[in-house]
Structure 1
C-alpha cells in the first residue's frame, strides 16, 4: 500500500513552522497511516513561476523584508549556522522524511508514490508562497486524494492577480479545512464552498503530550518573563519593560531573525543560546508571563495556562497585517481580553484567565478537529 505524503514546512526554521509540521505528522501517524513528510528543495529552474509577484506590491514588500533578512544572516552566518543545526537535529529526531527531492520535475515524479497527501498548517497558502507551486499540490497526479488540514492564508484577501490560480488548485482538493475564520471567508469567496474551521495541529495535542519533547533543562532558572516577537515594532517592547518594572522579573528572549529590532538590546534581557523548538516550548511552560505577537507563542501559552499578553505584529492599518488568525484563536478560546493594543494596562497583571472555561472551549474544538481529520482521511 502506498504511503501518505505529509506536506508541511519543517525546512522553514522558526519555532511555529517546525512544531506544527511535527504535530501534523504525529496526528496522521496517530490515526494509523504510514506516512512521511516531503523533503523537497526547489531549484532556480522554476523561478519563472514567481514573475507575476512582481506586479503585486504587498508580496514585493515581503520580498524586500526577505532580502534584508538574508543580509543580516550573512553578517551573522556563524550564529545562524549553529541555530540551523539544532533545528535540523530536532526535525531529524522527531520526524520521518521522504528521500530528498530536488527540483519540480523530480517532485512530480515522486508524487506518483503516494495514495494521498495531507497538507499541513501554518501560512502555506500565503500569496508569498504561491510561486513555489508546492503547497498547491499541483505536482500530484490527478487521481491522488488531497486533504488540507488547517492551512492559513496569513492575509485578509488573495491578490486579484492570483485569484484564478487559487481557484484552480482549491477545486482539486477532496477535503478542505482552514485554521481561522478569515480563511473560511476567502475559500467561500473563491470556490463558493463553506469549509470548516479546525484547530492548528499543535492544539490537537494537550500540554502533557508536548511534555514528551521537552529538554532536561530549561533555558534559565527561576521566575521570568518570556518574550518572543516576530515583528520589530517598538510599542510591544515598551509594554514588556513596564511589565518587568512592575513585577521585578527578568526578561528571557528568543529573538526572531526575520525582522530585526534594535530596541531588543534595551530590554536588558537574557538571550537563549541556540534554542531549538523543544526549548521554545519549555521556555513558555516555565515562564510566569509570556509576551508575544506569535501565533504559536500564543498557542503554547494557552496550552500551558500562562499569563499571556498578545500583541500585533504589524500596525492595524498595515497592508501586512496578519492578526486575524490570532484574533480567531483568542475568540474561540474566550481570551480576547489578553490582546494588548500597544497601551499598558495594569489589568494584565491583576486580571486572571479562567482556564477551566478556556480548556472547555479548546477541547470542544480539539474533538471536532480530530473527528474532521479522521473522516477526511478515511472518506
Structure 2
C-alpha cells in the first residue's frame, strides 16, 4: 500500500485544526492509501515539554497582558482572575486534545521542529499533501517552505484546501509565496478569494475544494463524537471567538423565543468570566466533545468558520456573525463566503444593524445538502486523481 505524508498542524490545539486534520487523514485512507501525519511542530523546537493549548486562549491572554494594560486595581484583579481561569481551562482541555491525538492521529515516528530537519531526513512517503487550515497564511508562516512541501520531490506535492487566511497577500510576501506556489503541481485552495489571489499572483488556476470536514458524512462524525451527559435539555449552542455583545444579546433573544437553554463553549473573556446561572458552560470540551455539542444542538450562534461548517453538517439552524470588536477579524470574514455561497445560506449571516430574516429560526437545508454532495464529489475527484498521479 502506498503511503501519503500529510502536513498540517498536528500539535496546534484548536478545534477546527484537529477536526480538519482527522477528516483529511480519514479521507486519504478511504481512497486506499496509508496516511502518515508528519509530526512537524516548529513552535516546540524539541526543547520544551510544555504542552500547547488552544490558540484562542493564548491569544486572549496575550491581548489582556500586553495590549490592554489595565489602569485600575479592579481591572488588574479581574485580569488576573481571568488568566488563572484560562490557564486551568487550557490544562483541562489539553488533556482531551492529547487523548484525541493519541486515539486518532497516525503520527510519524520522527518529530521535526524546523525545515532543515525535514529537508535532511524527509519522511519516506510516495506522495505528500499539505492542508487544510491556514497553512498558507502569509503572516503566520511566511518564509517557512515546509508548508509548501519544499522538502519533497516536486512531482509528489499536493495542496488540498489550504487557506491563505487573508483576502489579499501582503506586498512583502508576494514574491516569495509566488515562487513556492509555482512549484506545487497539484494545486487547490479552500476559498474562492484565495483562488482569485493566487491567479493574480501566479497566473495559475487553483481548484476550489471543500474543507476536509465536509468530506466525511454524519455517521462518520457521529462515530467519534462524545456527547455531554450534563446537558439534558434542548439547547442553543454559542461558540463565539470574539466578545461582541450584540451576538450574545441576539442569542438570548433566539433562545427565549424557542424555549432553549443556552450552552456556551467558553473561549473569550466574557464567556469565561460570566456568572449567569442560567447558562451552561461546556468547559471540558475537546475535539470529540466539540462534535457532540453540534450534533445535539437545536440552534447555533457562532462567528467561527468550523462552527458554521458543523452546523451545516448536522443541518442545525444557525446564524454566523461578523465580528466587530476585532476589526482585523471582521475583515477576514471572507473565509465564510465560499461555503455560504456554495450552500445558498448567505442569509444566515448577521451583523450589527441587520434585521433578523423572516422565519429566522428555521432553515431549509435541502439545497445546501445537494450542493455539498456535488462539491464533495468534485473535491474527492481532485484529491483521488492528484494522489494517483503524485504517487506513481
TM-score (normalised: structure 1)? 0.86
| CA pair 3-346 structure 1, distance change in 2 beyond 3 A | closer
> Which residue of 2 is the match for residue 56 of structure 1?
none
Which residue of 2 is the match for residue 280 of structure 1? 290
1:314, 1:322 within 8 Å by CA — same for their partners in 2? Answer: no
Q: Verify the 8 A CA contact 1:149 1:373 in the aligned structure 2.
A: yes
**Contact 1:234–1:263 (CA<8 Å) still a contact in 2?**
no
Q: Deviations over 1:79-102 (max 9, x none)?
A: 311211111211110110012424
Cα offset for 1:190? 1.2
CA–CA distance in structure 1, aligned partners of residues 11 and 236 of structure 2: 29
1:121 to 2:132 alignment: yes
**1:172 equivalent in alignment to 2:183:** yes
Residue number in structure 1 paired with 2:259: 248
**Contact 1:118–1:146 at 8 Å: present in 2 too?**
yes
CA distance, structure 2, for counterparts of residue 266 and residue 341 of structure 1: 26
SS class of match (1:13): coil
Assess if the C-alpha contact under 8 Å between 1:333 and 1:361 holds in 2. Answer: yes
**1:4, 1:118 within 8 Å by CA — same for their partners in 2?**
yes
The unaligned stretches of length 5 or more in structure 1 are 46-62
Which residue in 2 is equivalent to 1:55? none
Post-superposition offset of 1:124: 1.3
Pick from 274, 278, 283: which aligns with 1:265?
274
| 1:228 and 1:253 in contact (8 A); partners too | yes
Report the Cα distance in structure 2 between the residues aligned to 1:167 and 1:158, rounded to whole angstroms. 10
Q: 1:183 to 1:73 in 2, by over 3 A?
A: farther
- Partner in structure 1 of residue 92 of structure 2: 82
1:154-165 to structure 2, matched below 5 A, reads 154-165=165-176
Two-structure CA RMSD over aligned residues (Å) = 2.8
Contact map agreement 2:100 2:287 (CA 8 A) in 1: yes
Instruction: Output one character per residue of 1:11-38: Cα deviation in whole Å (capped at 9) or x when no partner.
Output: 1211111000100111111111122111
Q: 1:261 to 1:44 in 2, by over 3 A?
A: same
Counterpart pick for 2:373 among 363, 369, 378 = 363
CA pair 65-110 structure 1, distance change in 2 beyond 3 A: farther
Partner of 1:51: none
CA drift of 1:141 comes to 3.8
Q: Normalising by structure 2, what TM-score?
A: 0.84
Mapped partners of 1:350, 1:246: distance in 2: 11
Distance 1:184 1:321, change over 3 A: same
Partners in 2 of 1:340 and 1:316 — Cα distance?
Answer: 16
**Separation in 2, partners of 1:372, 1:324:** 23
1:182 pairs with 2:193: yes
Q: 2:243 aligns with which of 228, 232, 249?
A: 232
1:219-245 superposed Cα distances (whole Å, 9 cap, x missing partner): 511201001012222221121122223
Per the TM alignment, residue 344 of structure 1 is displaced from its structure 2 partner at its CA by 6.9
Q: In the aligned structure 2, how far is the partner of 1:232 from the partner of 1:132?
A: 32
CA distance in 2, matches of 1:362, 1:284: 18
**Uncovered stretches (5+) of structure 2, i.e. residues with no partner:** 46-57, 67-81
Alpha-carbon offset, residue 301 of structure 1: 0.7
SS at match of 2:231: coil
CA distance in 1, matches of 2:199, 2:39: 31
Tell me if structure 2 keeps the 8 A contact 1:219–1:283: no
> C-alpha displacement at 1:43, in angstroms?
5.7
Instruction: Give the corresponding residue for 2:72.
Output: none
